[in-house]
Amino acid sequence: MGKIGFSQIGKNGVTDNFVETLRTHFKKNKSVRISVLKSARENGKSDVKKYAEELMEKLGSNFKALTIGYVIVVKRFRRENPQ
C-alpha cells in the first residue's frame, strides 16, 4: 500500500488551485484523504458528495473517489478507470 496524502476543502470549495495541489500530492502518494471542513458544508453530507463529483470531473478518468462521512478518499490508477 502506498502513502496517503492529506488535504482539506474549506469555504472556497474546489478551486483550480486546489486541483493542482492534489495533482502534486499524487506525484508522491497513491491516494489522498480530503477532509471537508464545517465552513464548506452548509447542507451536510450532500455537499461532500457534490465536491467528490466535482473533483472527479476535474481530475479525469484515472481517479476514483469514495465518500465516508465528511471525508473524501481519492485514489489514482495507472490506467483509465473502468466505469
- φ, ψ dihedrals at 63, nearest 5°: -125, 155
Any domain includes 57: yes
* Contact in structure between 70 and 41 (CB atoms under 8 Å): yes
Any domain includes 67: yes
What are the cell numbers at 82?
473502468
What are the cell numbers at 21?
495541489
Q: Which of 41, 81, 11, 79 is nearest to 66 (CA)?
A: 81
Q: What is the CATH number of the domain that holds 31?
A: 3.30.110.60
Any domain includes 83: no
pLDDT per position as a tens digit, 21-67: 999 999 889 999 999 999 998 888 899 999 999 999 999 888 999 99
- pLDDT > 60? residue 81: no
Containing structural domain, residue 44? 4-76
Total domains, the chain? 1
